[in-house]
């Protein structure tokens, strides 16, 4: 074929090629020229270049003279391609190091040693694991990107077995590809969470991944049922029955339908918080169990009580088209043991809401794994409006919604007896909400007390009942902060000083802000701590608009009077009511459990004075009797003298 004297067939073929005036030789599928054309110059390829095969192709496609020109052109292109490829291979790929969170069972790939006290790093490109002080030696060599995962590939995040059978497996095929693609993109970008998608045990119908086995109640209650999010009762299920009902009854049924729908959505939010965020962060070893309980407390308890509530509502709705006696479910849910669980869960959860949001933003800035996990969640369409702060806000707002539902039911109920029963349910809901608010207020007050004590100087102290009173005694387990606020304490010169007044269960404390810290504040040689024992609370009398308050301590050891001025009338009424309530509830032995020698002497002196004054009173009584006898004697004398005068006159 390539002899100097070509055959007649080859000559005829060459004539056809010349006649077609082809500038670039055609490429047939049989010939391995992929990646060798000039347009492919600069692309990475591991295929070896066979120059002889190219020359054979050119000889087949063109004449000897024409082929020589084409071969020269291709030789130039191939040499350019090889030079660029060699330059790319010579370029050193830098390692991307990431701190390993676990050190158990790790061996350094450089020195092949295990040191428990040394920290390990892992390259996210080649998966090499070595000591932090061995990075210098590793950086001299290029990073072989695309290397198969080493024996340490599962050190960062341990995966869970995927042999678990999901009840939502029918939805997994459609959504898993989307989640896997998002995780793959994030993994290629950072290499931090390469196995996040594998940890997902199941995919919910809305595309949300869960990291634990789904509960059977979710399917029984129809949490992801498309029919549950239908129209109003009046335009859907009760379209026929509404023709025989009054407008108030129709509206009442719509309210019940809305209650069931919103309760179902709330349960979905709790499921995502517990089984996606909580279990996901825990399963990927991003946060510990204690850290997650601080971030999202009592999720299991909240999910338990609300699934129970939804189960009762769904059972009542399934009984008939027209739903009656919903107040019975409210009374059962908001009283007794279930109410105590709700009180505990919501009090703790709502009191830590601000802390949880601040901790979320802090972790997004300081914890790379946490930030990437949240980015993966936010990329899913279902989580665009269900980020972690959004879910926390929805949970804290839910408890306040029940009162409006019950109130609307009462207003749209025509039966008087049924309305009385709904009033009982409304009172139960209001009582639980008030208890939760009180619990949240108590927790916030204790946190405020700790913050104030933390801002006081270490050696800050004062004198109370003849002994030293330090700042740590404000945090005593037998002492509870009831109220705190800024007021004015007026001295003898009628000059008010702005102070922070703390009302505890047994004392009142005055503090003053000094720079960035607090200090005990006293004036007019009066103690800055007042005992609630024998304390008299009186509002200041005077012209209208007066906001003064007198605190009169009648205790024998420190009898004083304090004049307090509040900012507003409302604050004055609040302080008066709270202090009076604390005085009434203060135990008699709350203060002087360990009296000092001076206080003991004062008590003994008081008893001695009482005895002496008692004797004086007795003597006064005897003196009174003697004086009465004396007066009677003088009276008799006067009568006798009067009779004598009459006798002499006669």
pLDDT at residue 610 tops 50: yes
Identify the residue with better confidence: 330 or 382: 330
pLDDT computed for residue 52 by the predictor: 55
pLDDT computed for residue 518 by the predictor: 93
* Highest mean pLDDT: which range of 40-54, 147-161, 349-363, 548-562: 349-363
pLDDT computed for residue 578 by the predictor: 93
pLDDT tier at 135, thresholds 50, 70, 90: confident
Average pLDDT in the 601-623 region?
Answer: 75
- Which contiguous run of DSSP H or E holds residue 495? none
Average pLDDT in the 580-602 region?
Answer: 64
Average pLDDT in the 19-48 region?
Answer: 41
460-480: pLDDT as tens digits: 999 888 888 998 989 888 889
Q: Where are the beta strands (DSSP E) in 59-171?
A: 97-99, 120-123, 129-131
Coil/strand/helix, residue 403 = helix
pLDDT at residue 89 tops 50: no
pLDDT computed for residue 44 by the predictor: 43
pLDDT computed for residue 502 by the predictor: 94
pLDDT computed for residue 429 by the predictor: 93
- pTM of the full structure: 0.59
Identify the residue with better confidence: 101 or 487: 487
pLDDT at residue 238 tops 60: yes
pLDDT computed for residue 337 by the predictor: 92
pLDDT computed for residue 71 by the predictor: 47
For the beta carbon of residue 93, count every other beta carbon within 10 angstroms: 13
pLDDT at residue 189 tops 90: no
pLDDT at residue 39 tops 80: no
Residue partners of 603: CB distance under 8 A and separation at least 6 = 556, 595
pLDDT computed for residue 112 by the predictor: 66
pLDDT at residue 150 tops 80: no
pLDDT computed for residue 416 by the predictor: 85
pLDDT tier at 203, thresholds 50, 70, 90: low
Sign of CA dihedral 78, 81, 87, 89: negative
Pick the range with the lowest mean pLDDT from 259-268, 372-381, 417-426: 372-381
Q: In Å, how far from its chain's centre is CA 339?
A: 22
Q: Report the chain's mean pLDDT, rounded to a whole number.
A: 74
pLDDT computed for residue 503 by the predictor: 93
For the beta carbon of residue 626, count every other beta carbon within 10 angstroms: 10
276-290: pLDDT as tens digits: 899 889 888 899 999
The 8 Å CB, 24+ separation contacts for 60-69 are 60/1, 60/13, 61/17, 61/22, 61/25, 61/26, 62/14, 62/17, 62/18, 62/22, 62/25, 63/14, 63/17, 63/18, 66/17, 66/18
pLDDT at residue 575 tops 90: yes
Identify the residue with better confidence: 602 or 261: 261
Identify the residue with better confidence: 305 or 608: 305
Pick the range with the lowest mean pLDDT from 83-87, 127-131, 311-315, 610-614: 83-87
% pLDDT > 90, the chain = 25
């Amino acid at each position: 074929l390539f002899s100097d004297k070509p055959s007649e067939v080859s000559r005829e073929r060459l004539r056809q090629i010349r006649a077609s005036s082809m500038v670039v030789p055609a490429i047939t599928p049989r010939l391995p020229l992929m990646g060798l054309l000039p347009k492919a110059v600069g692309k990475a390829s591991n295929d070896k270049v066979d120059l002889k095969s190219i020359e054979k192709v050119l000889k087949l496609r063109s004449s000897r003279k024409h082929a020589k020109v084409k071969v020269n052109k291709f030789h130039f292109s191939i040499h350019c391609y090889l030079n660029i490829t060699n330059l790319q291979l010579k370029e050193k790929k830098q390692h991307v190091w990431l701190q390993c969170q676990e050190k158990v069972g790790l061996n350094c790939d450089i020195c092949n040693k295990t040191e428990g006290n040394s920290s390990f790093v892992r390259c996210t490109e080649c998966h090499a694991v070595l000591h932090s002080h061995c990075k210098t030696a590793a950086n001299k060599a290029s990073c072989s990107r695309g290397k198969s995962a080493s024996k340490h590939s599962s050190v960062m995040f341990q995966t869970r077995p995927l042999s678990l059978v999901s009840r939502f497996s029918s939805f997994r095929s459609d959504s898993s590809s989307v989640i896997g693609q998002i995780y793959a993109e994030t993994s290629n970008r950072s290499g931090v969470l390469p196995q996040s998608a594998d940890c997902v045990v199941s995919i919910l119908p809305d595309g949300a991944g869960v990291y634990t086995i789904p509960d059977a109640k979710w399917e029984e209650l129809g949490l992801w049922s498309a029919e549950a999010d239908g129209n109003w009762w009046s335009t859907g299920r009760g379209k026929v029955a509404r023709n025989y009902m009054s407008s108030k009854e129709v509206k009442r049924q719509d309210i019940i339908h809305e209650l069931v729908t919103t309760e179902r959505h709330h349960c979905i939010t709790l499921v995502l918080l517990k089984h996606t965020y909580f279990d996901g962060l825990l399963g990927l070893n991003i946060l510990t169990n204690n850290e997650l309980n601080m971030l999202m407390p009592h999720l299991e308890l909240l999910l338990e009580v609300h699934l129970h509530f939804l189960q009762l509502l769904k059972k009542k709705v399934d009984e008939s088209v027209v739903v009656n006696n919903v107040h019975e479910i409210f009374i059962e849910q908001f009283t007794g043991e279930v109410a105590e669980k709700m009180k505990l869960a919501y009090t703790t959860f709502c009191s830590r809401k601000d802390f949880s949001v601040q901790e979320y933003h802090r972790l997004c800035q300081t914890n790379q794994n946490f930030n990437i996990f949240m980015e993966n969640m936010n990329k899913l369409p279902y989580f665009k409006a269900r980020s972690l702060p959004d879910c926390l806000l929805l949970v804290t707002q839910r408890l306040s919604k029940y009162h409006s539902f019950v109130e609307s039911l009462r207003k749209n109920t025509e039966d008087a007896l049924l309305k009385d029963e709904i009033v009982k349910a409304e009172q139960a809901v209001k009582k639980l909400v008030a208890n939760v608010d009180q619990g949240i207020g108590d927790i916030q007050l204790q946190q405020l007390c700790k913050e104030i004590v933390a801002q006081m100087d270490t050696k800050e102290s004062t004198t109370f009942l003849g002994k030293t009173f330090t700042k740590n005694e404000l945090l005593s387990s037998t002492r509870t902060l009831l109220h705190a606020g800024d007021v004015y304490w007026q001295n003898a010169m009628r000059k008010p000083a702005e102070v922070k007044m703390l009302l505890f269960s047994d004392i009142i404390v005055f503090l003053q802000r000094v720079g960035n810290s607090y200090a005990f504040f006293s004036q007019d040689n009066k103690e800055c701590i007042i005992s609630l024992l024998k304390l008299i609370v009186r509002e200041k009398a005077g012209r209208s608009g007066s906001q003064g308050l007198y605190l009169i301590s009648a205790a024998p050891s420190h009898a004083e009077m304090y004049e307090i001025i509040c900012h507003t009338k409302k604050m004055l009424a609040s302080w008066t009511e709270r202090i009076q309530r604390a005085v009434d509830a203060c135990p008699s032995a709350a203060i002087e459990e360990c009296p000092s020698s001076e206080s003991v002497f004062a008590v003994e002196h008081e008893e001695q004075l009482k005895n002496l004054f008692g004797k004086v009173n007795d003597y006064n009584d005897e003196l009174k009797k003697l004086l009465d006898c004396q007066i009677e004697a003088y009276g008799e004398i006067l009568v006798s003298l009067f009779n004598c005068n009459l006798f002499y006159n006669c």
